Structure 1
């Protein structure tokens, strides 16, 4: 199951609140390739999920994933670090 770290949850909540996307908003994650192969992925804040997206929720925090992406990330965890400029850098790891 795709999971979020506490840091990722906090970052997503801060990002959605900064865009005034409260209850329905979340982080859209798109993946290009297989995670094991070092696939590139992109994230952006979205007000609502697209019709074809699944919602992964941890409490009130939501991540929007295309169904194929959700399957490919089934055993992964989304984490985040903040760089020296205060920008979030999300990364995907294998769930232990």
Structure 2
């Protein structure tokens, strides 16, 4: 299991339309995949763009493909600038 972080840029004028789409997608994933999701953004804006972050904790290796399909189905691409970037993190274990 690992944690998946997905970040992307959002034009300020698209934020109000995008937020309910992302939250609905995350709620559906929570119901069907039993995953806890969070939606965050950086507090500052640059050139009219916000940086948003979706966080999915404790997911399996197949979840990335499920999330990509859900994002396509939700129509997120039309309201974000550029690609969605995914990063995977695992819990830190001390060296022996």
Larger radius of gyration: 2
Higher relative contact order (CA 8 A, sep 6+): 2
Bigger strand fraction = 1
Give the TM-score normalised by the residue count of structure 2: 0.30
